[in-house]
Amino acid sequence: MSSNVADLLATELPQEKLVDRLCSILNGYLEPAQVADCLRAYHYSAKAHTGQFRKSGEAYICHPVSVAIYLAELRMDANGIMAAILHDVIEDTSVSKQEISDLFNKEVAELVDGVTKLTKLNDKSRAEAQAENVRKMFLAMAKDLRVIIVKLADRLHNMQTLGAMPANKKRRIAKETLDIYAPIANRLGMNEIRHQLESLGFSAMYPLRHNILKNAVKKARGNHRELINTIENALNSRLKQAGIDGMVIGREKNLYSIYRKMLTKKIPFSDVFDVYAFRVFCQDVDQCYRILGLVHNLYKPIPGRFKDYIALPKANGYQSLHTVLMGPYGVPIEIQIRTHLMHRMSESGIAAHWLYKSEAQSAKYQDSANEWLRDLMEIQKSGVDSLEFIDNLKVDLFPQEVFVFTPQGEIVKLPRGATVVDFAYAVHTDIGNSCVSARIDKQLVPLQTKLENGMTLEIITATWARPNPLWLSYVVTAKARSGIRNYLKNFQQQEAINLGQRLLEKELESLSINLQDIPPFRIQKLLKAFNMHSMDQLLENIGLGNKMPFLVAKQLHHEDANATKSELTPATQTSPLIIKGTEGLVVTLAKCCRPIPGDPVIGFFNPGRGIVVHLPECRYRHEARKKQTNWLDIEWSHETEGEFPADIRIELLNQRGTLAMIASTISKQDSNIENVTVVHQDDRVSVDLITLTVRDRVHLANIIRKLKQLSIVLKITRVKA
């Protein structure tokens, strides 16, 4: 790709000049009929975007044409170019996907739809909306990798024309670029576009830090020029002596990578920039290893800093030899050795498929990308929500690989810090779900063992084994985390249903009822009362402890008994129930908090006392909850009648006849005093605790209001614990 593409995209040229530039590039590699189709797509898109302008003031059509120019430089096929020109018409105009399919072709329509954001996400947070859009893009990517190529080109041009945006929107777009799109470009091996996205994103996200670092690099570069020339001359001289046709280039460090290294390693700029970086290019792989030997003879290698990405390529297909040497004056030298083809592939990544169609190696990048997408789609199928999908994606976008071997000698790449469980899931989900142990280099090891380069692993499985929730605390790969969560979610649900069924059948058996003999309409009536959709949902709630099996059994029995009575005898008057759904059970009101009708209440089953009813704020409830698991959500029956004790604390002026006045007022409100306790008394004030009977919460509120009207009452409160 030509070096002036970035400048071209950022230049505000009239749309006609942009189209002329696009056509001149397309004429270099497409058939005339295909160029005509692209031109037709331009006229259609220009008409659809008529009257629309970007923040910078230029006609909107300039944006999709600029994106198409970038893709034309990558020698994208005609359908990809048309999709780039049309990529915003579904999102920003009234044009539909079907219309594009009819006017152009289905393939173009699918590509445009894949790039188009989801619009009806008003009920979701910004994070959820972003996650949904990224997930939609990945689903489209799995069908056609051109979707992400178009999207990355679209994002690059948006970043290059970000100047007109408000500061907060700039930062939001820049953060999204650095978090999602630059790592995707890296994962797909597209280093040229990644570096541009990182540089633009860093500049927009942290403009002050970017400028300070840029000036520091410029200053340091001038100071180091002499040393750089010395090293370059020494390397070139050694290659010439060995008769190798190689090329040495000083590698310019990316500002964002310098910033990230300073941030993560907590080191000053001088420590990062003191490492001199060079690339050595040659003709074939054999020469790469010969050059490695030459540079190791020239300068001493630093132990542990050599990486062979030719024999063991990175997950994105990247190949090169990396070594760090101790150069002249004790300065570290970082050298990358690769063939010219490897370099072209590392810059273009999956785009090499169109740039170098004759090169068999471009297929490796395609295969690598497709393998990664297959893993992501497997996670997607497990039913995770969008935010979890993004979390899993980020784990996969920032890998530092370790390479381990299967017993058959196959290489498995995993992120740094991966464990035996991650390896098991990488081999196959079923192996991960049933692993119990492993052998590393024929030695038994636990599942949480972290893997290191060169290990040979053999996973030991068992038919009875299942994933342990504790695994989630140490697995690092998205595939393992998703597989464990998915299995546990389904397993726990089914286990709860089975347990719920056993518990309910046991309770029904004690009432001489068989679950299979209960008519479906009675079960439906009960499900409706519980606001549930299916018997499995009810059984799951019983198994999880949200519904008590004896209560459900009693209610089914009650329905059965009521049905029998209505068939045999006239309905008889029964005493009203205090608590809904407790037919046939003893209900006890707790004396510690004295709940009355109208109060919110909770209860738990006590084998000796039946259902014990408490107020939610009762102090005893916190203690009891530690011991009891049988807590129930309950409520008062509408037909509740009778008198219930309630406690009030009253502060009175300590005068003759005050207690008689209080008793008289309470009596006039149709209530009785059951007990009076003097809590505190002095010459001026008396504090009394009074237990009185009330019908419900409203009745008590009326009594308290009347008492507050008395001049002798200083303060009055209800005692709930």
- CATH number for position 158: 1.10.3210.10
* Contact in structure between 505 and 517 (CB atoms under 8 Å): no
Write down the pLDDT at residue 574.
37
195 plus 219 within the same structural domain: no
Tokens of 115: 């790039």
Which parts of the chain have pLDDT scores under 50? 1-6, 8-12, 118-124, 357-358, 383, 398, 561-576, 584, 608, 628-629
Q: How far apart are CA 340 and CA 506, in angstroms?
A: 75
Closest among 369, 263, 315 to 477, alpha carbons compared? 315
Residue that is written with structure tokens 């045999």 in the block? 568
Tokens of 536: 């499995």
Write down the pLDDT at residue 12.
44
Write down the pLDDT at residue 375.
59
Q: Is residue 458 part of a domain?
A: no
Q: Is residue 253 part of a domain?
A: yes
Given 582, 611, 641, which residue is the final one in a domain?
641
DSSP state at residue 591: T
33 plus 157 within the same structural domain: yes
* Contact in structure between 85 and 42 (CB atoms under 8 Å): yes
Q: How far apart are CA 513 and CA 168, in angstroms?
A: 67
Q: How far apart are CA 473 and CA 299, in angstroms?
A: 44
64 plus 141 within the same structural domain: yes
Q: Is residue 409 part of a domain?
A: no
653 plus 631 within the same structural domain: no
160 plus 278 within the same structural domain: no
Write down the pLDDT at residue 421.
93
107 plus 242 within the same structural domain: no
Given 581, 613, 641, which residue is the final one in a domain?
641
* Contact in structure between 258 and 202 (CB atoms under 8 Å): no
Write down the pLDDT at residue 572.
31
148 plus 292 within the same structural domain: no
Write down the pLDDT at residue 214.
87
* Contact in structure between 497 and 538 (CB atoms under 8 Å): no
134 plus 197 within the same structural domain: yes
Given 598, 623, 641, which residue is the final one in a domain?
641
- CATH number for position 351: 3.30.460.10
543 plus 583 within the same structural domain: no
Q: Is residue 375 part of a domain?
A: no
DSSP state at residue 517: G
Tokens of 712: 């002798």
Q: Is residue 289 part of a domain?
A: yes
Query: Count of domains in the chain?
Result: 5
Q: How far apart are CA 208 and CA 214, in angstroms?
A: 10
37 plus 135 within the same structural domain: yes
The gap between the terminal CA atoms of the chain, to the nearest Å, is 78
Strand partners, 335: 278, 323
DSSP state at residue 575: P
- CATH number for position 655: 3.30.70.260
Q: Is residue 346 part of a domain?
A: yes
Closest among 409, 410, 417, 400 to 452, alpha carbons compared? 417
Q: Is residue 310 part of a domain?
A: yes
Write down the pLDDT at residue 128.
59
Write down the pLDDT at residue 570.
33
Look up the domain containing 613 and give its range: 573-641
* Contact in structure between 557 and 585 (CB atoms under 8 Å): no
DSSP state at residue 451: P
Write down the pLDDT at residue 630.
57
50 plus 184 within the same structural domain: yes
Q: Which helix (H) or strand (E) holds 99?
A: helix 97-103
Task: Kindly list the catalytic residues.
Answer: 91-92
Record the pTM: 0.52
172 plus 292 within the same structural domain: no
Q: Is residue 299 part of a domain?
A: yes
